[in-house]
Amino acid sequence: MTLGEQRVQRSFNPSANPMVEGLKIKYADIIDTLESMKTGTNARAISLAQTEAETSCMYAVKALFI
């Protein structure tokens, strides 16, 4: 499992909703792309961007069920 897949908990989808799966794949890809951009000088900014992407994924998935 990639870092992005771990952070968006890609394997957790009890409803087997295809929209949830699609969102998690896209957000995991964003997190992984950010990870590949990380250097010593931008590590803090990349980490913050990854956390915000993870939070955004959580709310996007939640929005499907309210």
What's the domain range around 56?
3-63
List the chain pLDDT tens, one digit each, 66 residues: 999 999 999 999 999 999 999 999 999 999 999 999 999 999 999 999 999 999 999 999 999 999
Q: From residue 64, how far is each of 15, 17, 24, 58, 59 by CA, in Å?
A: 11, 9, 13, 10, 9
Tell me the per-residue pLDDT of 16-25, one tens digit each, with 9 for 90 and over: 999 999 999 9
The beta-strand segments (E) located in 1-66 are: none
Domain count, the chain: 1
pTM given for the model: 0.93
17: left (phi over 0), alpha (psi -120 to 50) or beta: beta
